Amino acid sequence: MTEVNRIPQGTIPDPKKEQIKVPLTRKIFEFLSGLPMTIAAGIFLAISLALILTKTSLPIDPAWVTIAVCGYPLFYLAVWRIIYNDGLSKISSALLISIAVTAAVFIGEIFAAGEVAFIMAIGAILEDKTVERAKKGIKQLIGLAPQNGRVVREGFEEMVRIEDVIEGDILRILPGEAVPVDGRILFGNTSIDQSIITGESLPVDKGVGDEVFCGTVNLFGSVDIKAMKVGEDSSLQKLIRLVREAEDNKAPMQRIADKWASWLVPLVSLIALATYFVTGDITRSVTILVVFCPCALVLSTPAAIMAAVGQATKHGVVIKSGDALERMGKVDTVAFDKTGTLTYGSLVVSDAVPLDTAVSGKELLAVAASAEAFSEHPLGKAVAAHAKRQGIRMHPIDNFKMMPGRGISADMYGRAVLCGNVSFLRENGIDPDAAAGPLERLHSQGKATILVSLDGRCIGIIALSDTLRETAENMVREIKEADAEVVLLTGDNRQAANHFSEKVGIEAVHAELIPAQKVELIQKMQDEGRCVCMIGDGVNDAPALKAADVGVAMGSMGSDIAIEAADIALMGDDIAKIPYLKRLSNATVRLIRFNIAISMSINAVAVILSMFALLNPVTGALVHNAGSVLVVLNAALLYDRKYI
């Protein structure tokens, strides 16, 4: 339900989570507030109007059904807020409308009472479709947390529940398993996919003494780790907690109608009473109550938002709430993750650098790709895939071996081939000093590297890099032209972050961040008075997406958790839509304000006409209805306007 017909979450226990008995009054409230019953109420109201226009009567006016169906939720909510809300929040739009409906019924104007109640029910449903947000993301995030760990005690392995793992325990993690706790490697070498925590596009080679994080995935070698942080102290549990806290701290926007109701109710009541005392005509007073009901005011926001959401959807942008649109119009700082956002998040071979004059770049690539064709490492797969795309002929390979976290070895026509890092070549008696200069240059560009040796000589370097999105540079420029600052927040290494930020023109760069640090930086910017939009794609971005004033996720390639955490999803992963979103949100806010001005003006004129008996409750209800229709039609025009 929306704020018109909603009981705030957390005040009444959720029966799905707690075994409680739901009061019958609340069950009725929820049943009558639904779309099927509201449609039925509208049919009966239409029959009542037809009877009025044809001057036909029935023993019972069909509008009574509308009053019962649409009026009950209003009365229920008005009474509930008087009992449970504090201060001026006891006075709500539901209370004002309930007074008007009661007064209209009191003087026998059944159609007018039903019309006002029905319009409010429509407004509630309309906004409910706009602001309803999924809550699946946090469940999926919790699902990533390992439930068991393989503890090594007195030389024996034992699978235990994660709750039973204590700090200092030794745990063994096999290839393909998730790391159950934060720890430090005591034995073994491997490669760890830690994108869930840091967002890094590349697996990270790990050896003795290196840290590993809960929830990350061990790709290759078996390792033993010492548990350093367990339970709620682990990195993944902190990530889950950050998402929950950010969700709780982002309060929903209070409805404009309820903000104004605190003074509308007393004002309208005084005008109606004054009119009655001056004229002695209670019909005029009831008409004033009917025409001044904030139905058009209630409809102005959800109607404009639905039109804007519809237009955005046409362009592949999913906006989950009206609040997000309003906040997007106020954004003055746009923060980007790097991998999968400014870049495609997929590795490609960028350089083949021969170090031996007898070897060409194509021959170097052929040697490396032939050996790496058997590798399960993402770098090796990327090299082999690149060679295949280039039509490079692969050589037959024998005796392939993979050393997790270090490299591979193989025989090619009886010649020894090694592919790996500097330390791997040194371990095998190969001097890689000739590669020092090119390696430094490639690493400064944020590229991953593979050294290739043949028959005991280092013959070259294969470099791999993420790919910058073609639209990134223009998009950053457009955001800057809109007087917004652009910031890079990434878990990737500083060299890669600096390299890509220079390419797109981002000056403010923060690299090697864990999720909590991203949140801290966003909160710091908010404390400085800035309105922050965060754009990301990974699980590690979820807390930052929640903490930001507006979170935008890459929809087609982003993680489900990031998409659920965000307010907006780019289904085509087109970051060029960010400036479009800004223009659309600005226009939507302007339209909402314009519609509010129209609705209040219509109400003011209608009140004056009612005071002079130029409107009665029925004609007043029709004028009141016309104002609501005008607001909806004006909002609908937003759907076809061009902002892209």
pLDDT in tens, 261-283: 567 767 878 888 898 899 888 88
Average pLDDT over residues 175-194: 86
Q: Does 3.40.50.150 match the CATH number of domain 315-344+468-584?
A: no
For residue 97, the tally of other CB atoms under 10 A from its CB is 31
Query: For 31-40, 50-59, 298-307, 540-549, which range has the lowest pLDDT when averaged over its residues?
Result: 298-307
* 524 has pLDDT over 90: yes
- Mean pLDDT (the chain) is 80
Residue 297 in tokens: 């005011």
Q: Contact 411/397 with Cβ under 8 angstroms?
A: yes
Q: Contact 301/4 with Cβ under 8 angstroms?
A: no
- Residue 508: per-residue pLDDT: 92
Residue where the block lists tokens 């706790």? 181
Q: Where in the chain is the domain with CATH 3.40.1110.10?
A: 348-465
Cα–Cα distances in Å, from 478 out to 484, 554, 577, 579, 582?
Answer: 9, 19, 11, 7, 10
Q: Contact 476/504 with Cβ under 8 angstroms?
A: yes
Residue 383 in tokens: 């090299």
* 366 has pLDDT over 90: yes
Average pLDDT over residues 343-351: 84
- Residue 451: per-residue pLDDT: 93
Sign of CA dihedral 47, 48, 51, 57: positive
* 409 has pLDDT over 90: yes
Look up the CATH number of domain 145-247.
Answer: 2.70.150.10
pLDDT over 70 percentage in the chain: 82
Average pLDDT over residues 426-450: 87
Sign of CA dihedral 79, 81, 82, 88: negative
Average pLDDT over residues 231-250: 60
Q: What is the C-alpha to C-alpha distance for residues 638 and 642, in angstroms, rounded to an integer?
A: 9
* 257 has pLDDT over 60: no
For residue 581, the tally of other CB atoms under 10 A from its CB is 26
- Residue 134: per-residue pLDDT: 35
The highest-confidence range among 455-459, 559-563, 634-638, by mean pLDDT, is 455-459
* 313 has pLDDT over 60: yes
- Residue 563: per-residue pLDDT: 64
CATH topology of domain 348-465: Calcium-transporting ATPase, cytoplasmic domain N (3.40.1110)
Residues 6+ apart with CB under 8 A from 250: 546
For residue 393, the tally of other CB atoms under 10 A from its CB is 9
Residue where the block lists tokens 């090619």? 412
For residue 479, the tally of other CB atoms under 10 A from its CB is 22
Q: Where in the chain is the domain with CATH 2.70.150.10?
A: 145-247
Residues in the chain: 644
- Residue 259: per-residue pLDDT: 63
Q: Which residue has the higher pLDDT, 406 or 540?
A: 406
- Residue 17: per-residue pLDDT: 41
Q: Tell which residue, 242, 339, 241, has the closest CA to residue 545.
A: 242
Q: Contact 38/129 with Cβ under 8 angstroms?
A: no
Average pLDDT over residues 76-80: 85
- What would the pLDDT profile of 133-171 be if each residue is shown by its tens digit? 334 444 555 566 778 888 988 778 888 888 888 888 899
Q: How confident is the model at residue 538 (pLDDT cuts 50, 70, 90)?
A: low
**Cα 10–11–14 angle (5° rounding)?**
55
Residue 257 in tokens: 């109608």
* 47 has pLDDT over 80: yes
Where residue 484 falls (left for φ over 0; alpha for ψ -120 to 50; beta otherwise) is: beta
For residue 467, the tally of other CB atoms under 10 A from its CB is 13
Q: Which residue has the higher pLDDT, 7 or 640?
A: 640
- Residue 136: per-residue pLDDT: 43
- Residue 643: per-residue pLDDT: 66
Residue 532 in tokens: 């922050």
Position 402, amino acid = M
Q: Which residue has the higher pLDDT, 562 or 405?
A: 405
* 128 has pLDDT over 70: no
- Residue 368: per-residue pLDDT: 93
| DSSP state string for 540-593 | GGHHHHHHSSEEEEETTTS-HHHHHH-SEEETT--TTHHHHHHHHHHHHHHHHH
Phi, psi of 403 (to 5 degrees): -105, 100
Known catalytic residues? 337
